[in-house]
Amino acid sequence: MRTGYAVGGDDGCIADARHRAAAFLDQAAHDHRLPVSAHAKYLTQLVVSELVTNAYKYAPGPVLMELCITVSTVEVLVWDSDSSIPTPRATDPRRIGGHGLEIAKAAAERFEIQREQAGKRITARIALTDALGGAATAPRADHYHLA
């Protein structure tokens, strides 16, 4: 299962990208009976939000997002037109902002950045089920909220 689209440049584009990721995972669970945990859905939305935000913040031009289900993971690919490779900053708990790349890397079981002929592609792979194999149906209301 795979989907992709150009992310719009309006104020709601990051929320739209999160909603599209959630709908994609819902479809995988419903139509293909894949076990998608609530935690995996949350992490996918978090990674999408961070990567799309960074692309819009630092790269001129279009942003493309692709989602792909493998046997046990969802891959989030975000392409932007800036060929410079972002580097994680040193940990600083006093720093406000600038943690997006660190967050995305921590949430993914595999994370890679590739320079392309034009721009770069960032890929994050997230497990569909929790580490203990569970496919929880919903997170606790006080745990997760992404608008």
pLDDT tens digits for range 40-54: 999 999 999 999 999
**Paired sense of beta strands 63-69 and 110-115, if any:** unpaired
pLDDT at 118: 92
pLDDT at 79: 97
pLDDT band at 92; cut points 50, 70, 90? confident
Q: Please report, for residues 6, 49, 55, 106, 143, the alpha-carbon distance to residue 101 in angstroms, rounded to integers and kept in the order given.
A: 21, 11, 11, 9, 22
- Global pTM reads 0.85
